[in-house]
Structure 1
């Protein structure tokens, strides 16, 4: 049965998500689970099946990673190794990866759970770990007006009231800037990732308040006219258009329409408009993570 919100509860965002994965050569393809003293806590997590073991690669292993993954030749290999050895703050051969923010958590280690016994982050479900869940199993993170949830193949796996969320930040040292960190009120945190940078930007924005869902009644006269024209033009089966106020003050309208023909997939339609309802160009941080 597919997950549905409770009566009187509105779903604000729902995106595929999982624990993040290291990208530096020393931790590429790996993740760890730590208490606040940086001890390994995997064996202490109740009910968790065995997963891939974690170890930081030494120099020979890092060279192997770079040789396998560098598509732009020997200079990218050498540059990637030098970047990791020097801190990874200036050279980033992988396309779309931002500068290093936390060497201790992104090169020397890669914790995706940081929590002592009894902390909220320790309650996150093991299905978020790609190395533990069955092949083809999909986990999603769902944000509503009341709760943050993890849903696995349509089943509610975990939830916490929104009041337990202290902060959320985009982690730039990740491919496509898709990683994000959720920090709970008790100080524990988890590093997760979505399947697209714009999903990460929107989710973090909704959690922190920089992005806000609007109702049609909150639009200006020009925006309401534009919205009504767009809604009337949608084909049968299109989802209800979602209205979002972006950090710049612009408004985005977006819907999903069904695909046509055998094997066709649904597609997104929408636009960004100014206060008058005219097309506008999103500012940095509106749709994609800011590069600042």
Structure 2
């Protein structure tokens, strides 16, 4: 069925989302699906199309990954090999990745679903897996005042009451820190990712309460004047401005211009302002994830 908000339900966020993908050389480009005893449950997921399967790369395979991605040549390859042999965290030749938080889930394995039979995370749709869904299809996460949903091509694929999500957190060990984990009331969890880091930051913030959606009536006189000028300057087709109070207390205003044609990225316009409606610099954790 096509997704639409219920009566009295407010849409807070809607962003492209997928299961995350490993970035350490041992699991680069891969993901696994586990029960709480770390057994592989991929073959047991009901009605899922066959996937690629999962295996941690041996040392020779990791050398190949280092060789393809290292920006500092031989030194980076040798350093990566030594790091693996000594049991240290795998190096990251790409910029923007934070510290290793869980070696067992980010280097030795890369579960994106952690759930026993009957757990909420195990009900997530297979379309979240980029290696399974049809080419060109986009899955999106929708957060409302009542629900968390996954939609594909406008159709509801999965949903759960918002109160069933008990925690959400950015995973630092990901390119651009775009990965995040959502944990459900039963203790199961999923590791997901968005295409832009501030989408992950904002979604996590809205789930945990550090970010808050505002209405025009919540703004000061100066902020309202700034918003009105911005809204009147938007081209035809732009979405109505979305107003967010950031953790620092600053206010972000944003609007999206949908891309034209398949695969065209939408354009976001906006600004951050203080109580007086003046341009302001976001604090760490306001827009992008805080560094660890």
Q: Do the two structures share a fold, i.e. TM-score over 0.5? A: yes
Offset of residue 239 of structure 1: 1.3
Which stretch has the larger CA shift, 224-233 or 104-113? 224-233
- Taking the aligned partners of 1:202 and 1:86, their CA distance within structure 2 comes to 37
Q: Is residue 42–residue 53 contact of structure 2 (8 Å, CA) maintained in 1?
A: no
Provide the residue aligned with 1:130 in structure 2: 130
Q: Is residue 24–residue 90 contact of structure 2 (8 Å, CA) maintained in 1?
A: no
Unaligned runs of 5+ in 2: none
Offset of residue 90 of structure 1: 8.0
Q: Give a deviation string over 1:93-146, Cα, whole Å, max 9, x none.
A: 221111100000000100000001111000001111111111111111111111
Provide the residue aligned with 1:81 in structure 2: 81
Provide the residue aligned with 1:282 in structure 2: 282
- Taking the aligned partners of 1:83 and 1:197, their CA distance within structure 2 comes to 28
Provide the residue aligned with 1:101 in structure 2: 101
Offset of residue 243 of structure 1: 0.2
Offset of residue 235 of structure 1: 2.5
Provide the residue aligned with 2:14 in structure 1: 14
Provide the residue aligned with 2:252 in structure 1: 252
Name the Cα RMSD after superposition. 1.9
Q: Is residue 99–residue 172 contact of structure 2 (8 Å, CA) maintained in 1?
A: yes
Provide the residue aligned with 1:200 in structure 2: 200
Q: How does 1:49-68 map to 2 (within 5 A)?
A: 49-68=49-68
Q: How does 1:154-169 map to 2 (within 5 A)?
A: 154-169=154-169
With the length of structure 2 as denominator, give the TM-score of the two structures.
0.94
Offset of residue 234 of structure 1: 2.2
How many residues were matched structurally? 290
Offset of residue 259 of structure 1: 7.3
Q: Does 1:25 align with 2:20?
A: no
Q: Is residue 140–residue 151 contact of structure 1 (8 Å, CA) maintained in 2?
A: yes
The DSSP-based 3-state class of the residue aligned with 1:167 is strand
Q: Is residue 180–residue 192 contact of structure 1 (8 Å, CA) maintained in 2?
A: yes
Distance 1:52 1:266, change over 3 A: closer
- Taking the aligned partners of 1:255 and 1:151, their CA distance within structure 2 comes to 21
Q: Give a deviation string over 1:69-108, Cα, whole Å, max 9, x none.
A: 2233122222333344445548432211111000000001
